[in-house]
C-alpha cells in the first residue's frame, strides 16, 4: 500500500499519514469514549467490544449444551441469515475439516452441520428435508430481531417437518437465539416455554451487539457443537482487543489498516476492497468480512451526534448525503488467480487487495519427485510462493495490497482476526463520519416485500412512496 513499494501516484506517503494525524486522534478519542461508557456503548451497538471478556459461567453452560446436542443428534441445522449466519459458516469452514459432512471418520461422532434460512431459494431446503430424518435432527434458529422473512419462512417449514413426524414434542429439538424481549421469535419461545421449559430453549443475545459483530455471542453454540475451544477464540479476540486499544497508529494494527485504506479511498480513489485469503478454509471468513464492510460503511447519510444529559445519541444527518463505502469482493488464492486476478492487475486501478496468508497448514503434501520444477516441493511452500508472487505482480502495476499473516488457522488466531477486522471497520466508520452499526439501506427491499404481502402497520409514508413510485419496466427492452 505504501509509496515505497508502488510509487507515489497510487501508494500512501508517510506525509499522508501525518496530514490526517488530527483526524486519527479525534476518531480514537471518540471511539474510546463511546466504548468506555456502557450506556452509549449498548445504545449505539458497540457492546461487541466487550465480548472477549464474557461471563465464564455462561460460556460453560453453552459448552455443556453444545456437547449434549453433539452427543445426541446426527444432524444439526442452523437457521439464520446475514450476521446470524456468516460468522458461523466462517467458523465451520475454518475449523471443521474440508468434506466434514461427507465422511464420518472426519466428524469423529460429531453431527453433520447444515446452514439454512439464508435464502428463499426452495431448492436447497426441499432437497435437504427429503434427506434428513427429523428424529435425528436438532434445529438452532438464530434471529436477533426475530422478524427476518428468510429465517421465519424456513423455520416455519422446518417446524411443520418436525411436527409431522415427532408431534408436539418437536419443540424439544429446537433452540432459539433471539432478542431477550422483542420480536415474534421471542413471543414464540415464551409461548412454548409456558408448556415446558424444555420447549424452544433459548440463549440470550446480548443487548447492543449488532448481527455482523456478533459471532462471539450468537456463534458460540455452533462453536460448542463442533467442539471448537471457545476460550481460545475469546482469548485471541481479547489479546487483539488490547493491541487495538493503543492510540498510536504504528502500534495498533486495526487503526493502521483502517487509516491506510481510508487514505487510499479518499486520495487515490481505491473504492474496491478485495479480500483474498490464500486458504480454502478462510474463504467463508472473507464472505463474513464482505457483510461487515458493506453494511457498516456503505452509507448514504453522514452521522449526526447529539448530546443531551451526558448521553450521546447518533442520528442520520438527512441534510448531509455522503454515499460512502468501499465495495468488498471476496475471493481466494490460488483459485481466483485464474479468474478475478486478471482484472485486479489490468483493470481499473481502483482496488486494494488484502491477502490473508497462513504460515502453517493443518496438513502437508509434497509434489512427488520427478523432473518438473515443482517436484519435491511442499504444497505449503508453493501456496506461499504464489501469494508472494501475486503481491509482486500487483506492485509491478502500481496496485496496492496488504498482507495479514496468520501463524495458523487456530481458534486463537481466528478470534484475533475477527476482532481486528471488526475494530478496523469501527475505526474507519469514525474516519468517514458514518454510523458503522446500523444498516438502514437493508429496509428498502423489506418494506416493498411487506407492502406486497399486505403486512399491517406499515407506515403511511412507506406505502405512499411505493404507490407513487412503482417498479417501472419498459417493455421495449424486454426481449
Ligand atoms: O448485521 C446485521 O444486523 C444484519 O445483517 C442481520 O444480521 C441480518 O439482517 C439478520 O437479522 P436477524 O438476526 O434479526 O434475523
Instruction: Encode pLDDT of 329-376 as tens digits.
Output: 999 999 999 999 999 999 999 999 999 999 999 999 999 999 899 999
| 211 pocket-lining for ligand 1 (C-beta < 6 Å) | yes
Q: 256 pLDDT exceeds 90?
A: yes
Asked if pLDDT for residue 299 goes beyond 80, the answer is: yes
Pocket test for ligand 1, best of 145, 176, 203 (most atoms within 8 A of CB): 145
Of the candidates 146, 15, 134, the residue with the CA atom closest to the CA atom of residue 73: 134
Q: What is the total residue count of the chain?
A: 479
Per-residue pLDDT at 325? 96
Catalytic residue among 150, 295, 428, 430: 295
Per annotation, catalytic residue among 338, 468, 469, 476: 338
* Residue 1 · residue 12 · CB < 8 Å: yes
Q: Torsions phi, psi of 142, nearest 5? A: -120, 120
pLDDT band per the 50, 70, 90 thresholds, residue 8: very high
Q: Which helix (H) or strand (E) holds 272?
A: strand 272-277
> Please, what is the Cα angle at 137 between 136 and 143, to 5 degrees?
165
Q: Is 80 exceeded by the pLDDT of residue 463? A: yes
Catalytic: which of 60, 136, 362, 446?
Answer: 446
Residue nearest to atom 15 of ligand 1 (CA): 143
Ligand 1 centroid from CA 454, angstroms: 22
Grid cell, residue 247, equals 492510540
The residues facing 415 across adjacent strands are none
Asked whether the bond before 479 is cis by omega within 30 degrees of 0, the reply is: no
For the cut 90, the answer to whether the pLDDT of residue 199 exceeds it is: no
Grid cell for residue 111: 453431527
Proportion of the chain above pLDDT 70, given as a percent: 100
Reading phi first (left if > 0) and then psi (alpha if -120 to 50, else beta), residue 319 is in alpha
Mind listing the pLDDT tens digit for each residue in 41-54? 999 999 999 999 99
CA 94 – ligand 1 centroid, Å: 22
Q: Is the CB of 45 under 6 A from ligand 1?
A: no
- Burial level of 226, CB count in 10 A (0-12/13-18/19+)? buried
Question: What is the reported pLDDT for 379?
Answer: 97
Question: Vertex 118, ends 115 and 121: CA angle to 5°?
Answer: 105
> Which residue's alpha carbon is nearest to atom 8 within ligand 1?
82
In angstroms, the CA 479 to CA 476 distance is 8
For residues 252 and 245, give the distance between their C-alpha atoms in angstroms, rounded to a whole number. 7
pLDDT of 212? 97
Terminal alpha carbon distance of the chain = 46
**Ligand 1: nearest atom to the Cα of 212:** 1
Q: In what order do the strands lie in the sheet with 137-143?
A: 112-116, 75-79, 137-143, 174-178, 201-204
Residue pLDDT, tens place only, 364-422: 999 999 989 999 999 999 999 999 999 999 999 999 999 999 999 999 999 999 999 99
Where residue 197 falls among pLDDT bands split at 50, 70, 90? Answer: confident
> To the nearest whole percent, how much of the chain has pLDDT over 90?
90
From 84, 142, 297, give the residue whose CB has the most ligand 1 atoms within 8 Å, as the site to mutate. Answer: 84
Using CA of residue 105, residue 108, residue 111, residue 113, what is the dihedral sign? negative
| φ/ψ (deg, to 5) at 386 | -60, -40
Q: Please give the grid coordinates belonging to residue 209.
A: 451487539
Residue 444 has pLDDT above 90, yes or no: no
- For the entire predicted model, the pTM comes to 0.96
Report the distance separating Cα 173 and Cα 158, nearest Å. 11
pLDDT surpasses 90 at 310? no
- Angle between the N-to-C axes of helices 283-297 and 411-432, in degrees from 0 to 180, rounded to the nearest 10: 20
Q: Residue 406: how many CB atoms within 10 A of its CB?
A: 21
Q: Is 351 a residue of the active site?
A: no
Distance in angstroms (rounded) separating the CA atoms of residues 436 and 429: 5
Contact 84 CB / ligand 1 (< 6 Å)? yes
Compute the distance between CA of residue 425 and CA of residue 254 in angstroms, rounded to an integer: 8
pLDDT, average across residues 425-447: 94
Average per-residue pLDDT for the chain: 96
User: Are 327 and 273 contacting, i.e. CB atoms less than 8 angstroms apart?
Assistant: yes
Say if residue 435's pLDDT is above 80: yes
| 255 three-class SS | helix
pLDDT tens-digit map of 83-132: 999 999 999 999 999 999 999 999 999 999 999 999 999 999 999 999 99
Q: Do 9 and 398 meet the contact criterion of CB atoms below 8 Å apart?
A: yes
Distance from the alpha carbon of residue 456 to the mean position of ligand 1, in angstroms: 22
With residue 17 as reference, give the H or E element that holds it.
helix 14-19
Span from the CA of 145 to the centroid of ligand 1 (angstroms): 7
* Cα 289 to ligand 1 centroid, rounded to whole Å: 14
Q: Is the CB of 148 under 6 A from ligand 1?
A: yes
The CA 242 to ligand 1 mean position distance, Å, reads 27
Residue 213 alpha carbon, nearest atom of ligand 1:
1
Whether 464 sits among the annotated catalytic residues: the reply is no
Per-residue confidence band for 457, with pLDDT thresholds at 50, 70 and 90: confident
Residue whose Cα lies nearest atom 9 of ligand 1: it is 82
Q: Which residues lie below 8 Å from residue 288, measured CB to CB, with a gap of 6+?
A: 86, 87, 89, 90, 212, 215, 418
CB-CB neighbours of 309 under 10 Å: 4
Ligand 1 geometric centre to CA of 403 (Å): 29
152 lines ligand 1 (CB under 6 A): no
Mutate to test the pocket of ligand 1, among 179, 211, 294, 418 (most ligand atoms within 8 A of CB): 211
CA of residue 176 to ligand 1 center, whole Å:
15
Is any ligand 1 atom within 6 A of the Cβ of residue 210? yes
Per the annotation, the verdict on 338 as an active-site residue is yes
Task: Report the distance separating Cα 199 and Cα 194, nearest Å.
Answer: 9
How far is Cα 282 from Cα 376, in angstroms, rounded to an integer?
26
Q: What is the mean pLDDT of residues 204-211?
A: 90
CB 285 within 8 A of CB 332: no
pLDDT digits (tens, 9 = 90+) for 136-147: 999 999 999 999
For residue 198, name the pLDDT band (cuts at 50, 70, 90): confident
- Whole-angstrom Cα distance, residue 281 to residue 333? 11
- What is the structure's pLDDT at 331? 96
* pLDDT of 204 higher than 80: no
Q: Are 210 and 49 within 8 A, CB to CB?
A: no
Amino acid at each position: 500500500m505504501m509509496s515505497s513499494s508502488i510509487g507515489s501516484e497510487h501508494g500512501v506517503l508517510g506525509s499522508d499519514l501525518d496530514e490526517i494525524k488530527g483526524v486519527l486522534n479525534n476518531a480514537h478519542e471518540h471511539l474510546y469514549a463511546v466504548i468506555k461508557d456502557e450506556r452509549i456503548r449498548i445504545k449505539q451497538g458497540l457492546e461487541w467490544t466487550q465480548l472477549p471478556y464474557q461471563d465464564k459461567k455462561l460460556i460453560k453452560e453453552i459448552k455443556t449444551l453444545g456437547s449434549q446436542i453433539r452427543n445426541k443428534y446426527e444432524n444439526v441445522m442452523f437457521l439464520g441469515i446475514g450476521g446470524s449466519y456468516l460468522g458461523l459458516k466462517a467458523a465451520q469452514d475454518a475449523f471443521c475439516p474440508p468434506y466434514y459432512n461427507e465422511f464420518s471418520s472426519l466428524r469423529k461422532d460429531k453431527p453433520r452441520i447444515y446452514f439454512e434460512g439464508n435464502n428463499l431459494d426452495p431448492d436447497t431446503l426441499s432437497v435437504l428435508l427429503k434427506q434428513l430424518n427429523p428424529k435425528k435432527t436438532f434445529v438452532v434458529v438464530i434471529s436477533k430481531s426475530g422478524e427476518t422473512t428468510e429465517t421465519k419462512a424456513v423455520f416455519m417449514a422446518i417446524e411443520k417437518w418436525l411436527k409431522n413426524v415427532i408431534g408436539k414434542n418437536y419443540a424439544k429439538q429446537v433452540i432459539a437465539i433471539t432478542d431477550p424481549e422483542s420480536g415474534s421469535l421471542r413471543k414464540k419461545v415464551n409461548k412454548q416455554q409456558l408448556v415446558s421449559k424444555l420447549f424452544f430453549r433459548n440463549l440470550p443475545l446480548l443487548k447492543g451487539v449488532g448481527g455482523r459483530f456478533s459471532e462471539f455471542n450468537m456463534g458460540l453454540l455452533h462453536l460448542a457443537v463442533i467442539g471448537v475451544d471457545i476460550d481460545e477464540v475469546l482469548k485471541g479476540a481479547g489479546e487483539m482487543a488490547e493491541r487495538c486499544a493503543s492510540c498510536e497508529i504504528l502500534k495498533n494494527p486495526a487503526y493502521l489498516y483502517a487509516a491506510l485504506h481510508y487514505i487510499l479511498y479518499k486520495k487515490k480513489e481505491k473504492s474496491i476492497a478485495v479480500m483474498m485469503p490464500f486458504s480454502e478454509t478462510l474463504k467463508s471468513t472473507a464472505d463474513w468480512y464482505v457483510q461487515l464492510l458493506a453494511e457498516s460503511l456503505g452509507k448514504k447519510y453522514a452521522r449526526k451526534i447529539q448530546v443531551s444529559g451526558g448521553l450521546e445519541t447518533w442520528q442520520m444527518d438527512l441534510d448531509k448525503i455522503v454515499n460512502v463505502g468501499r465495495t468488498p469482493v471476496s475471493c481466494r488464492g490460488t483459485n481466483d488467480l485464474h479468474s478475478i486476478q486478471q482484472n485486479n492487475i489490468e483493470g481499473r486501478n481502483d482496488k486494494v487487495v488484502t491477502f490473508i496468508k497462513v504460515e502453517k497448514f493443518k496438513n502437508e503434501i509434497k509434489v512427488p519427485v520427478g523432473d518438473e520444477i515443482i517436484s519435491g516441493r511442499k504444497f505449503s511452500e508453493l501456496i506461499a510462493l504464489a501469494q508472494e508472487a501475486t503481491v509482486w505482480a500487483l506492485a509491478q502495476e502500481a496496485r496496492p495490497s496488504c498482507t495479514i499473516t496468520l501463524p495458523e488457522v487456530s481458534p486463537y488466531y481466528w478470534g484475533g482476526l475477527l476482532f481486528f477486522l471488526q475494530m478496523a471497520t469501527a475505526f474507519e466508520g469514525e474516519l468517514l463520519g458514518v454510523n458503522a452499526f446500523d444498516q438502514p439501506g437493508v429496509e428498502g427491499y423489506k418494506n416493498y416485500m411487506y407492502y406486497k404481502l399486505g403486512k399491517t402497520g406499515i407506515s403511511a409514508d412507506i406505502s405512499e412512496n411505493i404507490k407513487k413510485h412503482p417498479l417501472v419496466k419498459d417493455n421495449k427492452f424486454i426481449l
